[in-house]
Structure 1
């Protein structure tokens, strides 16, 4: 009679174990890949899942977007510049059964394929393209990685190159190049300004030559500008036309 409670306790514990192994609860963003005696029988979830104890097993897979950092990679560009580049990749599982069956560990596999693709694509580009055409390179990386991970039931939504580390020598060379470019632009702008100013002065000279009275008005305007300041000296401009007879007299004497 004393053995009856012990047997009952064992039966109760075993029943609880069986019940616990048969009931699974999956969140909204999770799916369960169910295997029955080693064969996949389907994808279940979310909510309450009932499994046949011992016979069925379930592997949970998250459907949320995963943000994965690609470790810094040493890359030699097409123009033989050694750089270090890291990136970030956004992907999610859209077919849980393939993510479990087709690859052993889809997280590690996606990380490795991202690293090799990053080195391969950037190694085929020049440094100027990496710095100026970042969006184009990101799109190309996304297409290649997405096509390689598609058999695993993974969708790569975006790939972004985060940082490009340049050698110190290259940074100094690029700084000198940028400084030279800025100096060239400043000289071009100054020369363009001088050219436009000379054109305006030439136009003004033509107007003054056609209208002699305009030159007198200009003289008066200049006197007005000088008189505004507190100067003790007053300048009276003398028209050049008054000096022409005196300048022509020596020539007449020579002719005589």
Structure 2
């Protein structure tokens, strides 16, 4: 009879090399699969849009959002764009006006991303590009106006600058909402000259108004004298009114003869 092979218990418990590798991979898979699923979902906020690039190409469904979107962590690259209104301040710009006056202008530009795809594919840094374009156009446009026009037509000039900037940023997917000119600073010498000119103009206007007042006063006095000549009673009334005015100004004692001689032809008094 053939003898049965004797099974050693220690050999049964012994794990082969392949079994060890498979066990390690199984443990890694069990641990990584939940994390993998967590990475497959991304939340896009209400004011954001997501552009997904898979293997370097833009997905047809882009832009996505708002809400939950599904991605492949290894192959997909997600770029988020903020659609809210943003702003940047243009630093003090020295501008030579049409009448050869150097002024310093401060302005603020408000813009937003209108097309995320164009903003990603057509320009590298849309904010920086918009800022540089705004500076160039602001200097070119303001140089076409005189100092008086720049100070008086600030609102209309701002609208014109906004339209020109918006034309340049349209292909970048950026919409310019407003351009506000905050301040126009003049050289100190020019400020002194303008102040002296304004003061001289005010003095000239004051003298003209004073002369016109004297002319009107003389005309009124002429008319009053004619009335007094026609009705002598008014002379007496004017005399009494003058005495009343003097007494009201300061405490004085006024002596005048009484009875006073009244005009006989007046209808308001009797002899």
Q: Per the alignment, in what secondary structure is the counterpart of residue 182 of structure 1?
A: helix
Corresponding residue to 1:104 among 124, 137, 156? 124
Task: Report matched runs for 1:58-207 at 5 Å.
Answer: 58-207=78-227
Match of 2:46 in 1: 28
1:227 shift after superposition: 5.2
Q: Per the alignment, in what secondary structure is the counterpart of residue 44 of structure 1?
A: coil
Corresponding residue to 1:7 among 20, 25, 29? 25
Q: Per the alignment, in what secondary structure is the counterpart of residue 123 of structure 2?
A: coil
Distance, in Å, in 2 between the alignment partners of 1:178 and 1:130 is 18
1:207 shift after superposition: 0.8
Q: Is the 8 A contact 1:70 1:89 kept in 2?
A: yes
Q: Is the 8 A contact 1:223 1:235 kept in 2?
A: no
1:192 and 1:159, CA in 2 relative to 1: closer, same or farther beyond 3 A? same
1:189 shift after superposition: 2.3
Match of 2:5 in 1: none
Q: Deviations over 1:40-92 (max 9, x none)?
A: 22210111111133333221100000011112212111111112212101111
Q: Deviations over 1:15-35 (max 9, x none)?
A: 466445432211110001122
Structure 1: 5+ residue stretches without partners: 240-256
1:13 shift after superposition: 5.9
Match of 2:56 in 1: 38
CA RMSD of aligned residues (A): 2.4
Structure 2: 5+ residue stretches without partners: 1-14, 262-271
Q: Higher helix fraction: Structure 1 or Structure 2?
A: 1
Distance, in Å, in 2 between the alignment partners of 1:86 and 1:12 is 61
Distance, in Å, in 1 between the alignment partners of 2:81 and 2:247 is 89
Higher Rg: 2
TM-score, reference length from structure 1: 0.83
Q: Per the alignment, in what secondary structure is the counterpart of residue 131 of structure 1?
A: helix
Distance, in Å, in 2 between the alignment partners of 1:97 and 1:227 is 89
Q: Per the alignment, in what secondary structure is the counterpart of residue 64 of structure 1?
A: coil
Distance, in Å, in 1 between the alignment partners of 2:119 and 2:159 is 24
Match of 2:252 in 1: 231
Distance, in Å, in 1 between the alignment partners of 2:40 and 2:64 is 14
